Structure 1
Amino acid sequence: MVEQFHGYAAFDEKSVLKPYSYTPKPLGDEDIEVEISHCGICGSDLHTMRSGWRQTLYPAILGHEIAGNVLNKGPKVVNFNIGDRVGIGCQVHSCGECVECTAGYDQLCAKKVFTYNDKWKDAEGVPTKYQAQGGYADKIRANSSFVFHIPKEISSAEACPLLCAGLSTFAPLKRHKVGPKHKVGIAGIGGLGHLAIQWAAKMGAEVTAISHSDQKRDEAIKLGATHFLNILDPNDVIKFTHSLDIILSTSCSSNTDWSKYMSFIKNHGTLILIGLPEAPLQIPVFAFMRFVKVEGSLTGGRQDIKDMLAFAVKHNVRPWIQTVPMKDVNKGIKIVLDGKARYRVVLEN
């Protein structure tokens, strides 16, 4: 009998997710098979569902914020035991040997395999017939290097958003060595932003939450923000001009006024893009003339995940979540699409 995993897949750009079964890649010597208990719904899932960034490999099981228990493992796996509670994030494989991998940028490896909408590759990096499928499912397989022990202090449901939203916001702040001397702006108070505020605040930075209304002011302050900038308030715009060392932008809107964001950054400061709009950015060249830099940041590496989980335990950083049964996955997606999530939706098997 051919082995089958079961989940909920997108079959085209417009349909709801439907039950789908697939044949997983064979369990390798260094692989782990996880029985999924929880999976977060990430904005990346929605972009992929509708082929917003590039053409999706349909049918596609989404989900890359995964928690569960080790069900099976290859003979060379020594640091995990059957039954261990573990997490899997945006990536399930890299070569582990190239310049990027050894520098901690596993996500840039030429032989990387993302958790979904990707193909497993052979030793030479050539795509195989096996498609990588995500966590809206009963099981998943991953290279053991991309499986992580979940600390006992963090629940499985809370761990899920940390594995993408948490990592994506923690890694660039870590890379810039954010600390008490920094003034950091967090643009967008949502699934990414509510974690970014917590990280930056716990790192000791003076944090300014940036939004288009006052609706989330109280929540931003509760999360750790020192200041609140309403980008549509002329007085706030004047007050915060050239005031921030770093802005971490979580915005996925194609209508963002990037020149205004750039105006809030000090000379020699940095705009870090985490949110990925589907349309090209429009930034006037003069916005760069104060030696302001713009950089992108794609998730994080394996060590970043370990450091993030340890930091979350030490400083009590947790996502704000609401749970939905896995069988009601389309209900969960609608909550996110309607902008009603506060702030992440996690599916439960």
Structure 2
Amino acid sequence: MIKAYAALKAKGELTAWEYDPGTLGRDEVEIEVDYCGICHSDLSMLNNEWGMSSYPLVAGHEVVGRIAAVGTAVNHLKAGQVVGLGWHSDYCNVCSTCGSGDQNLCTTAQGTIVGRHGGFADKVRANASAVIPLPEGMDAKTAGPLFCGGITVFNPMVQFDVKPTDKVAVIGIGGLGHLGLQFLRAWGCEVTAFTSSESKTAEAKELGAHHCINSLSSDDIEKAAGRFDFIISTVNVTLDWNLYLATLKPKGRLHFVGASLEPLDVNVFSLIMAQRSVSGSPVGSPQTIAKMLDFAVQHNIKPVVEMFKFEQINEAIAHLESGKARYRVVLER
């Protein structure tokens, strides 16, 4: 039996709950969970904001732990190995998308907490292809948020060939944005932080920003007209996107990784005349996750975390929902 913390209904408190995972599949591994980050996507699933939650729901998709058992067909992972698991727990591994190394875009990829049970538990199971070993020198205690928050901001840097000479801005300095600043600074870019919090300005510069712009000031944003090659938005609220589009250079890109539920109000003329682009991306493939982990070790990039015990899970979730987390919340055994 696997012992977990589950929501029995939308917006309900998490309670102790057990389930029988059945026989371990030949391509699966079972992970003993040592740490698990709490992501805003967990909150969205627990509250059924996306309309695809089923209950009892065991959330948690920023897992770090030790392999307890491997299926008979698994030969690249072994018991005792320290590994991580992110948003996806399985891919079809036969479609053209998987074959081209874009498993994260597989239309039948299985989410770790969508239709299956995640890492708010003592153990979790996943297909071995979705499980990534931690590289030597990585701190397991803080690594969990890299498997969702970290890869979400790192993936577009690879996909859209962000260059070390680029001038890049990050909108929102929170769970995603604080990692984006670190990755982009280490990548070699000139980095600007758009933040609505004056208290975060000093922190943003410590994390890697060369410059900060007050996102509540239209005048300050307008002064940055034509400055950026790439802007990555990590927020889930609606902003004046045309104002931000104007801060892009010709051929610049406004890229979304924050899941705003409102339709975008975008002036197409601004896109056409300067050949600008608007795009979005999810988490990355297993190969890109592994690349990100190596890059993080090489450049000493770590999520800034606040630790809670698994027994404090409802307190930890309330802390994240309050907006006071700096910057990621992680559960530890």
TM-score norm. by structure 1 comes to 0.91
Aligned to 1:243: 227
Match in the other structure for 1:106: 103
Give yes or no for contact 1:52–1:278 (8 Å, CA) kept in 2: no
Give the structure 1 partner of residue 314 of structure 2. Answer: 330
Distance across 1 between alignment mates of 2:258 and 2:219: 26
Match of 1:268 among 246, 251, 270: 251
Aligned to 2:49: 52
Contact 1:207 1:227 in 2 (8 A): yes
Say if 2:296 is the partner of 1:312.
yes
Evaluate the alpha carbon distance shift between residue 176 and residue 25 of structure 1 in structure 2; reply closer, same or farther with a 3 A threshold: farther
Instruction: Name the aligned partner's letter for residue 99 of structure 1.
Output: S
Amino acid at match of 2:284: G
What is residue 95 of structure 1 aligned with on the other side? Answer: 92
Residue 25 of structure 1 deviates from its aligned partner by 4.7
Shift of 1:100: 0.9
- Which letter maps to 2:51? R
Kept in 2, the 8 Å contact 1:6–1:21? The answer is yes
The alpha-carbon deviation at position 280 of structure 1 amounts to 2.7
What do the CA deviations read for 1:284-333 (whole angstroms, capped 9, x no partner)?
43342332211110100011011001100111111001100011111111
Cα distance change, pair 278–48 in 1 and its aligned pair in 2 (3 A): farther
> How many Å apart are 1:234 and its aligned residue?
4.3
Indicate the residue corresponding to 2:268 in structure 1. Answer: 285
Deviations 1:198-224 (A, max 9, x none): 111111011111112322111111111
Letter in 2 for 1:210: F
Letter in 1 for 2:25: G
CA contact under 8 A between 2:61 and 2:113: conserved in structure 1?
yes
CA distance in 2, matches of 1:186, 1:26: 45
| Distance in 2 of aligned mates of 1:89 and 1:40 | 10
Runs of 5+ unmatched residues, structure 2: none
Q: Where do 1:140-159 residues align within 5 Å?
A: 140-159=124-143
After the TM superposition, which residues 204-219 of structure 1 pair with which residues of structure 2 at under 5 Å, given as runs?
A: 204-219=188-203
Instruction: For 1:59-208, list aligned pairs within 5 A.
Output: 59-118=56-115, 132-208=116-192
Kindly provide the CA deviation profile for residues 80-112 of structure 1, in whole angstroms up to 9, marking residues without a partner as x: 221111111111111222111122211221331
Say which SS state the counterpart of residue 36 (structure 2) adopts.
Answer: strand
CA distance in 2, matches of 1:181, 1:22: 51
- Residues in 2 aligned to 1:144 and 1:10: alpha-carbon distance in whole angstroms: 27
Task: Give the unaligned 5+ runs of structure 1.
Answer: 119-131
Say if 2:19 is the partner of 1:12. no
CA contact (8 A) 2:147 2:289 kept: yes
| CA RMSD, Structure 1 to Structure 2 (Å) | 1.4
Q: Secondary structure at the match of 1:216?
A: helix
What amino acid is the match of 1:94? Y
Q: Distance in 1 between matches of 2:184 and 2:290?
A: 18
Question: Could you list the per-position Cα deviations for residues 201-251 of structure 1 after superposition, in whole angstroms to 9, with x for gaps in the alignment?
Answer: 111011111112322111111111111111223442232112111111001
User: Residue by residue, what CA displacement relative to the aligned partner does 1:29-74 show, whole Å, maximum 9, x if unpaired?
Assistant: 1211011011000010111111112231121111100011111111
Normalised TM-score (structure 2): 0.96
Change (3 A) 1:85 1:202: same
8 A Cα contact 1:252 1:276, kept in partner: yes
Q: Give the number of equivalent residue pairs.
A: 332
CA contact (8 A) 1:9 1:61 kept: yes
Q: 1:53·1:278 contact (CA, 8 Å) conserved in 2? A: no
- CA drift at 1:278: 2.7
Q: Retained in 1: the 8 A contact 2:3–2:121?
A: yes
Q: What letter corresponds to residue 189 of structure 2 in structure 1?
A: A
The 10-residue stretch of structure 1 (331-340 or 210-219) with the greater mean CA deviation from structure 2: 210-219
